[in-house]
Structure 1
Amino acid sequence: MAENVTIALAGNPNSGKTTMFNALTGSRQRVGNYPGVTVERKEGSVILNGLHADVVDLPGCYSLTAYSMEELVARKVLVEERPDVVVHVMDATVLERSLYLGVQLLEMGVPVVLALNMMDETKKRGLRINAAKLSKLLGVPVVETVGRTGQGKKELLQEAINHANQRKRQWLPLELSYGPDVDHALLDMTTRINAAGLFTDRQPARWTAIKYIEGDEQVVAEGRKAAPEVSKELEAMVSKLSDHCQKTLNAYPDAIIADYRYGFISALLKQGVLERDSLRERIDITDKVDRVLTHRVFGPLIMLAVLYGMFKLTFTLGEYPMGWLEAGFGLLSDTVGNAMAEGPLRSMLVSGVIDGVGGVMGFVPLILIMFLMVSVLEDLGYMARMAYMLDRVFRIFGLHGCSVMPFVISGGIAGGCAVPGIMATRTLKSPKEKLATLLTAPFMTCGAKIPVFVLLVAAFFPENAAMTMFAITMFAWAMALLVSWALRSTLLRGESTPFVMELPPYRLPTLRGVLTHSFERTWAYIRKAGTVILAISILLWAAMTYPELPAERAAGFETMREQAVAETQTMADAEAALEERLVEIDNREAQAALRHSLAGRVGGALEPVSKLAGFDWRTNIALVGGVAAKEVIVSTLGTAYSLGEVEAEEAQPLSERLATDPQWSAITAISLIVFVLLYAPCFVTVVAMAKESSWRWAAFSTIFNTALAFAMATAIYQLGRLLS
C-alpha cells in the first residue's frame, strides 16, 4: 500500500465540491495560484488510519474541453500531475448533467470515484438513486455524501484511497461509440497518433484524437508545436469528417460526440439507476421560494431590503467592538508615547505604526460581520439569484448577466475585492462585454474602501450610518452601469450575447462553512494590515517626517515658547494658560514640520487643484498613498493628523479629529467618498486588469477613473457650497 495518496476533487460549479474539500481537510489547507495563471489553487491534507493523503481542489468546470481557464487548469493538473485518484463530486439532484463531466474523466482513463453529493436534497425531491447499480455499470466506486454536514466523507476518503491503491496510477480509458462516421475517423486518428507517439506518454491516444475532433485549441496548438506534420494530418482528417457529417447528418462532429455522451448517460440511468417518486405531486422548495425572491417586482425590492439590512446589522452589531478596538489602540498609543523618550523611533511607532495601522485594524469587527453575512448569502444560493434578476437591467446598459458576479465579487455587496472580480470576467465570452465589465468593476465598494467610508460616515453621518453606506453602494452600482453604457455606446460598441445561468438550489449554510469563509477573508484583511499596509504606513511616515524643519525655523518656535512662559507668569491661572499656549505652539510646529516634509510638499503642490474638490494637502497625501492600497488612506490620515496635531489630553479617535477639524464638513466628506469610490484602482488591481486585457486598458482605467472621480467630486463640492 502506498504511503501517500494524491486525491484531486473535480466537479461542476455549485456541486458542493469546495464544501467537501473543507469537510475533508478542515484547517489543513494551503491557498495560492497555479503557476502562470490567476486561478486559485487550494490544497489540503488529511490522515485516515495512519495514511496521509494530499487533496487538491480543482477549479469547477463542466467539461474537459478547454473553453475556459478553469477547464484548462483542471485538465492540466490531471495530465501533468497525474493524481492517484480523482473524486468527482456530483450534484445528485441533477445527476444526468453532473455525469457529463464524469464520463469525460472516465474517457480520459484516470482512476475515478463518484461522490453522489447533496443526497439529502435528492431524497426530498422524490429521487431515488441506486448507487450500487451505478457503481456496477461504470466499474467505479460510488459513495453517497452530504458535503455540508460531512456525511459520507470518511467512506468517500476510504474508497478513494482503496481505489488509488488498486489502480496504482494505471489509466484505463472508457471507450464510447460515437456512431460509425466518428468511430471510423477516431480509429484512423488513434492509429496515426500511436505511430507518431504524439503525447502518448501522458494521455491516451484516443482521447487526444477526441480533443482534435472537438476543436480543442490548446491540444491542437501543442500538437502543432510538438509534431507539425502529424498535427497537419490530424487536422485534415477532422476537416474531412466535419464536411461529411454536415452533408450527411447536418451536424458537427463535436455536437455528435456530446449527443452520444448524453445518450450513454441516459441509457445508464434507465437501467434502474434513477427513479422518480411518482406517487406524490410535489413542487420543489427552491421553485416555491424563487417565485417570490426572483419575482419581477418583489424580487428587486427584496434584494434592496437585504442589502440595506446587511448594513444596518453591521453597524448595530459592530458599534461596540469597534469602539473597544479604537479605545485599545488609543491606550496603546498613549502608553508607548509615555514610556519612550522623544525621538524618531517613538514618532515612528506611535504615529507610523499604531496610529497608522491601528486606524485600519479598528474596523475589523465591521469587516468580520459583513463577511459573515456575505458568506451566508453565498452559501444559501442567493447570490446567483441576484445575477439572474439583474440580467434584465444589465442588458439595458450593454452588459451581460454574467457581469453581475464580477461586480458582486468586486464589492457589489460591500466587502469584496476587485482582483478576483476582475478575474471573474473570464466567464464573459464577448471581448467587449468583458472589457466594459473589467473597466467598471473597480467602482464597487471593495473591502479596502470600506474602512474609508466607515471612517467618514462615523465622523459626519453617525445618525444615519446604515442608510449612508447603503446609498454609497447603490451609487457605485449606478456609476458602474452608466459608465458601462457610455463605453458600450462609444469605444466598445457591439451586440450583446445571450445569457444562460444555472440557479443552484437553496441550501441552509453550515456554521462551519460560514465561519471558515468569513475568517479566511477577515484574516486576509488583518494580514494585509500587518504586512503591506504596515510597510506602506512606515514609508509614508518617513515621507511625512523628513526632511525635518531647518534649525532656524525650529529655533523660532522655541523662541515662541520662551515668550509664552514670560507672558503667562503674571496671569491668574498661569499654569493652565501656559499649557494651552504651549499646545498651540506645538501644533503649529507639527503642522509646519509636516508641510516641510516630502509628503507635505507633494500634498501642497496638488492643493491648488485639489481644493476645487475640497481636499487639503493632508488629504492629498492620503489619496496618493491610496493608489498602492485603499486601506492606506485611513492609516495615512491617522499618521498625518498624529504628526500634524499635538493633543493636550489622551488621543482622540481619527473620526472625532475629522469631525472637529474646521477644514472638514459633511459636503467635504461626500466629495471624498465619491472620489475614493471612483478613482484609480489599487496597484494590484491594475496588474490584474493588465493580465486579463492589456497594459493599455489598465492605463486607460487608471487615468479615466481618476479624471471621472475628480470631476464628480468637484461638481459635488462646488454645488454643495453654493447650496449651503
Structure 2
Amino acid sequence: MSVQIALFGNPNTGKTSLFNHLTGSYEYVGNWSGVTVEKKVGRLRNPHGQLIDLPGVYSLNPLSRDEEVVSRFLLTESFSSIVNIVDASQLKRNLQLTVQLLEYGKPINIGLNMVDVAENRGHIIHDQLLSKLLGVPVAPIIARSGKGCDKLTNNMSHIDSHKSSLFKIHYGAIIEEKIEQIIELLPDNISLSKRWLAIQYLERNNTVEAYVSHIADEDILNPIYKQAEELIAKEQNGLSVRQYIYQIREQFIEEVIQRVSEVSETNKRTATELIDNIVTHKLLGLPLFLMFMYVIFMLTFDWLGSPLADMLDGLIAGPLTNLIEQGLTLIGASQFIHSLILDGIVAGVGGVLVFVPQIFILFLLISFLEDSGYLARVAVVMDRIMELIGLNGKAFIPMIIGFGCNVPGVMAARTIEQPKERLLTILLTPLMSCSARLPVYALFVGAFFVKQQAFIVLSLYVLGIVVAMLVAKLFSIVFFRGEQSVFVMELPPYRFPQLLTLWRSTWEKGKGFLKKAGTFIFAGSVFIWLLTYFGPTGIAEQMDDSFLAVIGSYIAPIFSPLGFGTWQASASLMTGFFAKEVVVSTMNIIYHAPNTESLQGMLSQYYSPISAISFMSFVLLYIPCLATVATIKKETASTKWTLFSIGYALVIAYIVSLLIYQIGELFI
C-alpha cells in the first residue's frame, strides 16, 4: 500500500542527506540554513510510497516564505505520518519543533541525527528513554553516511498511520481553558487536531490564524485571544501568550534533556571552534575568503581548467568537425545545410562546450566549500559589511548561490524573513557573476590576460559584489529607509565532504549548463546563424550585409564610449539577454572562428585590453537573462519590480563600463 510520509527538521540537521538515503533520489545538499525552499518528493525504497521533503524550519510559526510552505502543508495536504530529523548535538533547540509536531497528532518517527558530533562534544543521548518520554520511535542515525537509517526505515514500515499521537503538554489553567473554548467553536467535520489548531491560533501562527478564522466565528475567537493575553500578562509579569507557551515548552524540553542526556565535562576545544577563530576573525575573515576564491580561480583557469578546455577545443574543432563535414559530404548535403551545421550549430554550441571543464571544476570547488561548512562562515564574515548597507549576512547566501546560477539564487531569497531584505536580495542577486558568464570571461582573459586569468576573473566577481553592496545602500536609503535588520544563523560543524555527495552536487549544477547547451543555445545558434546568412536583399554575400549586422549597427553607437562600438559586440550583447553563454555562440558564428584560439586572435583586432575589461564588466552587470527575469517576476509577483530590475541593471552596467574604459584610457 502506497504511503506518503512528510520529512520535517530544523535547517542544517541533515534533512536533505536523509532524504537521499531513504529515497535514492538526489536533492541539492548545502551546508547552511534554508537550502531547501520548496517541497520535494522522492519515491521511498521501503516502505513503498513517497517521502515529502519540506523546508527546514525552527518552528511551525512562519517568519519567511519557505516556512509558510510547512504550515500550509500541515493544514491542506494529506499524508500518512511524519519523519522528524533531530540534531542530537543541538537537542534543546530541535525539540521545539518536535513538540509542535507531536501536538499535531500524526504518527511520528524521530531520526536522532549527528550522534557522532554530540559524542565528540561530550553529549550521550539515551535514545530509548527519549522514545519512552515522547511516546514515539527514536532511531539514532548518521544521515551523511547512512548509519542507522535501516532502523529508521524499519520504524517507518511498522508505524500505524491510523493511530493518533496522545502527546500532550499542560499549559496551565488559563491557556487550557482558552484552548477548550476555541475547540468548541471548531466544526466537527475537520480532520485536523482541534487542540493543535487552538494552540497554534493562540501562538498567532498567521497561516493557522487565517485558517481557523475561516472555519469559526472570528468575532468570538478574537475576544478569547485578547482575554488570554490580558490574563497571562497579568499573571506572568507582562509575558505574551506566545512567549508563555514557548516558556512552558522550554521547561518540558529541559526536563526531558536532563533525563535522557549525559554530559561529560571537557575542556577540549573542537576543531570547528579552532578553525572558526581564524576564518571568522574580524580582520582575517575577508582576506581569507578572497584568498580561497583566488585559489579556486587559479585551479579553474590556470592549473586545471585551461589545459582541459584546450584539449576539448582541439577535439571539437579537429576530429569532430572533420567527421561531421565528411558525413555531410557523404550524404550529399547542400551548401546551405553544410553552413548551417558547421558555421551555425558546431561553431555556436561547440564554442560554448569547450568551457565545460572550467565550469565543472568551478562547481566542484564551490560544492566542496558548501558541503564543508565554510560558506556559512562567509555569511557571518560578510554580516559586518552587509549591516552597513541595510542587509545582513544571511542575504549573502543567495548571492553565493547566484555564483552558480542566478535563478536558484533569486529563489533562495525566500529564506530571508524580512520582506524588505528579501526584495533587496532578489534585486541584487543578478549582479552576481553566474556560471553562464564564465565562457565570456574565459574567452577574453585567454585572449588578453593569459598570465593574469585568475586575478582578472576574481576581480570581476568582486566587482559584482561591490556594485551590489553600493546599490543595496542606495536602495535602502531611497526605498526602504528605517527598516531594521535581524541576523540569526546557525554554524554547522566542519565536515570533510563525501566524494559521492560532491559529484552529485557538481553534476546537478553542471547538467543544467549541458541541458542549456543542447536546447536553448542550440536553438539560439540556429537563429543567430540565420540572421547572419540572410539580409534585407536576400542571402547576405558579406556578414556586414546580414540582418544581424543591420540590427547591431543601430545600437552600436551607444557602446562607442564604452570601447566596443561595433555591430558585432552589440549583436552579441542583444542575444546574451536570452542566455549569457549565447554571447560566445554569437561571436563564434559572426567571426567564422574554427576554434577558440582563432576567435581569441580575431578579438584582439577589435578590442584593446581595457575595452575587453569594459566588455566583460558590462556582461557581468547588464540585464538578467530571460530565465532570471521570469524568476524575479514569480518571486516578487510584481511587474513593476521586474522591469525595475532590468532597467537599473542596464544603467549600472553602462556607468561602470564607461568609467572603466574612460579612466583606463587615461592611464593605458
Question: TM-score surpassing 0.5?
Answer: yes
1:407 alignment counterpart: 399
Is 1:308 matched up with 2:301? Answer: no
Supply the AA of the counterpart residue of 1:153.
C
CA shift for structure 1 position 434: 3.0
Contact 2:38 2:66 (C-alpha < 8 Å) held by counterparts: no
Contact 2:62 2:206 (C-alpha < 8 Å) held by counterparts: yes
Is 1:143 matched up with 2:139? Answer: yes
C-alpha separation in 2, matches of 1:658 and 1:628: 26
Question: Which of the two has higher C-alpha Rg?
Answer: 1
Is 1:69 matched up with 2:102? Answer: no
Supply the AA of the counterpart residue of 1:492.
F
1:391 alignment counterpart: 383
C-alpha RMSD of the superposition: 2.2
Supply the AA of the counterpart residue of 2:185.
R
2:413 alignment counterpart: 425
1:611 alignment counterpart: 560
Is 1:208 matched up with 2:197? Answer: yes
Contact 2:25 2:43 (C-alpha < 8 Å) held by counterparts: no
1:620 alignment counterpart: 570
C-alpha separation in 2, matches of 1:377 and 1:660: 35
Supply the AA of the counterpart residue of 1:673.
M
- 5+ residue gaps, structure 1, are 32-37, 555-588, 646-650
Closer, same or farther: CA 433–56 of 1 in aligned 2, 3 Å = closer
CA shift for structure 1 position 207: 1.2
Closer, same or farther: CA 546–40 of 1 in aligned 2, 3 Å = farther
C-alpha separation in 2, matches of 1:393 and 1:296: 10
CA shift for structure 1 position 130: 0.3
Supply the AA of the counterpart residue of 1:58.
L
Q: Deviations over 1:513-567 (max 9, x none)?
A: 111111111112111221222222222222332347548xx7xxxxxxxxxxxxx
Contact 2:300 2:362 (C-alpha < 8 Å) held by counterparts: yes
Contact 1:438 1:689 (C-alpha < 8 Å) held by counterparts: yes
Contact 2:272 2:493 (C-alpha < 8 Å) held by counterparts: yes
Residue aligned with 1:89, SS? strand
**Which residue, out of 623, 629, 635, partners 2:579?**
629
C-alpha separation in 2, matches of 1:64 and 1:158: 27
C-alpha separation in 2, matches of 1:96 and 1:711: 52
Q: What TM-score results when the alignment is normalised by the length of structure 1?
A: 0.86
Q: How does 1:30-109 map to 2 (within 5 A)?
A: 39-48=37-46, 51-109=47-105
Is 1:689 matched up with 2:632? Answer: yes
Contact 2:26 2:504 (C-alpha < 8 Å) held by counterparts: no
**Equivalent residues, number:** 653
2:655 alignment counterpart: 711
Counting aligned pairs with the same residue, the percent is: 36
Residue aligned with 1:43, SS? strand
1:326 alignment counterpart: 313
**Which residue, out of 651, 676, 700, partners 2:644?**
700
**Which residue, out of 422, 445, 453, partners 2:433?**
445
C-alpha separation in 2, matches of 1:503 and 1:608: 51
C-alpha separation in 2, matches of 1:56 and 1:665: 54
Closer, same or farther: CA 598–222 of 1 in aligned 2, 3 Å = farther
1:517 alignment counterpart: 505
Q: What TM-score results when the alignment is normalised by the length of structure 2?
A: 0.93
Q: How does 1:161-200 map to 2 (within 5 A)?
A: 161-163=157-159, 167-172=160-165, 174-193=167-186, 196-197=187-188, 200=189
238-247 or 516-525: which moved more? Answer: 238-247
Contact 2:431 2:464 (C-alpha < 8 Å) held by counterparts: yes
Contact 2:81 2:161 (C-alpha < 8 Å) held by counterparts: no
Contact 1:595 1:601 (C-alpha < 8 Å) held by counterparts: yes
CA shift for structure 1 position 78: 3.8
2:32 alignment counterpart: none
Is 1:289 matched up with 2:275? Answer: yes
Supply the AA of the counterpart residue of 2:585.
S
C-alpha separation in 1, matches of 2:599 and 2:547: 27
Residue aligned with 2:48, SS? strand
Contact 1:329 1:355 (C-alpha < 8 Å) held by counterparts: no
Residue aligned with 1:146, SS? coil
205-214 or 711-720: which moved more? Answer: 711-720
C-alpha separation in 2, matches of 1:113 and 1:207: 19
Q: Which runs of 4+ in 1 moved over 4 A?
A: 27-31, 548-551, 658-661
**Which residue, out of 565, 578, 595, partners 1:652?**
595
C-alpha separation in 1, matches of 2:270 and 2:349: 50
Is 1:458 matched up with 2:456? Answer: no
Supply the AA of the counterpart residue of 1:185.
K
Contact 2:371 2:495 (C-alpha < 8 Å) held by counterparts: yes
**Which residue, out of 371, 376, 379, partners 1:379?**
371
Supply the AA of the counterpart residue of 1:329.
I
2:33 alignment counterpart: none
1:565 alignment counterpart: none
